[in-house]
């Protein structure tokens, strides 16, 4: 089981309490689709992803970015039980969507960059450490049901 210090818990809760879901969700998913274009293959039903501009203005992508962040809310609310919290979502991504689990890490790195850019000086080393630990646990939990 993953142990969290009070400081880590308060950092993670603080980030989500002040999060602009619309902006951060859309930017993180767009960045992932642009920087790692092979991730676009899973979003064929989302309409035009023809170039970076099309990705950035695609409303389905923006909405899905927000959905992903709300997916992360579940981990924040269940920090002591992230693995079980994501069991179903892991099965969905693996068995139904066939998302290569390496992509979870790519998306989480894009999310870190977007959060860091928004937080500026308050993205301290302690904040970065807690945030990346949180995402690593999420990525591991989402990859659990792959076999
Ligand atoms: C769907 C969360 C990473 C592709 C979803 C849903 C959530 C979610 C909450 C909606 C599930 C539902 O409708 O019941 C997350 C989280 C991720 C993550 C928390 C990592 C931090 C990824 C990655 C990809 C991906 C990296 C592909 C590169 C998809 C697709 C859908 C989906 C294609 C279905 C979209 C649709 O047709 O509506 N994800 N996801 N996800 N996810 Fe993820």
For residue 107, tell me if it sits in a domain. Answer: yes
User: 10 Å Cβ neighbour count for 95?
Assistant: 11
Residue 132: the pLDDT is 98
**Is the pLDDT assigned to residue 94 strictly greater than 90?**
yes
- Tokens 């203005």, residue? 57
* 48 C-alpha to ligand 1 centroid (Å): 18
Atom of ligand 1 nearest to the CA of 75: 19
For residue 62, tell me if it sits in a domain. Answer: yes
**Is the pLDDT assigned to residue 146 strictly greater than 90?**
no
Residue 1: the pLDDT is 78
What's the CATH number where 35 sits? Answer: 1.10.490.10
Nearest to 63 by CA among 104, 94, 98, 21: 21
For residue 1, tell me if it sits in a domain. Answer: no
Number of domains in the chain: 1
For residue 50, tell me if it sits in a domain. Answer: yes
* 93 C-alpha to ligand 1 centroid (Å): 7
Over the chain, what is the mean pLDDT? 97
Sorting pLDDT into bands at 50, 70 and 90, what band is 46? very high
Residue 42: the pLDDT is 97
**103: Cβ below 6 Å to ligand 1?**
yes
Rounded CA-CA distance 27/7 in Å is 27
For the segment 51-59, the average pLDDT, to the nearest whole number, is 97
**Is the pLDDT assigned to residue 26 strictly greater than 90?**
yes
**15: Cβ below 6 Å to ligand 1?**
no
Residue 8: the pLDDT is 98
What is the DSSP annotation of 3-45?
A: ---HHHHHHHHHHHHT--HHHHHHHHHHHHHHHSGGGGGGGGG
> Range of 61's domain?
6-146
The model's pTM: 0.96
For residue 93, tell me if it sits in a domain. Answer: yes
Question: Pocket of ligand 1, candidates 68, 104, 109: which has the most ligand atoms within 8 Å of its Cβ, to mutate?
Answer: 68
For the segment 42-70, the average pLDDT, to the nearest whole number, is 97
Rounded CA-CA distance 57/147 in Å is 36
For residue 109, tell me if it sits in a domain. Answer: yes
Reduce the DSSP state of residue 79 to 3 states and report it. Answer: coil
């Amino acid at each position: 089981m993953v142990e969290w210090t009070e400081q880590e818990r308060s950092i993670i809760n603080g980030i989500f309490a002040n999060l602009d879901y619309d902006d951060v969700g859309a930017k993180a998913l767009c960045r992932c689709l642009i920087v790692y274009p092979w991730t676009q293959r899973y979003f064929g039903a989302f309409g035009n992803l023809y170039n970076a501009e099309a990705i950035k203005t695609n409303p389905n992508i923006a909405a899905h970015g927000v959905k992903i962040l709300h997916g992360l809310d579940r981990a924040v609310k269940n920090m002591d039980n992230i693995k079980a919290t994501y069991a179903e979502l892991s099965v969905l991504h693996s068995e139904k969507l066939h998302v290569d689990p390496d992509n979870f890490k790519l998306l989480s790195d894009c999310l870190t960059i977007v959060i860091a850019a928004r937080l500026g000086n308050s993205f301290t080393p302690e904040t970065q450490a807690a945030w990346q630990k949180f995402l690593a646990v999420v990525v591991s939990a989402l990859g659990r049901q792959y076999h």
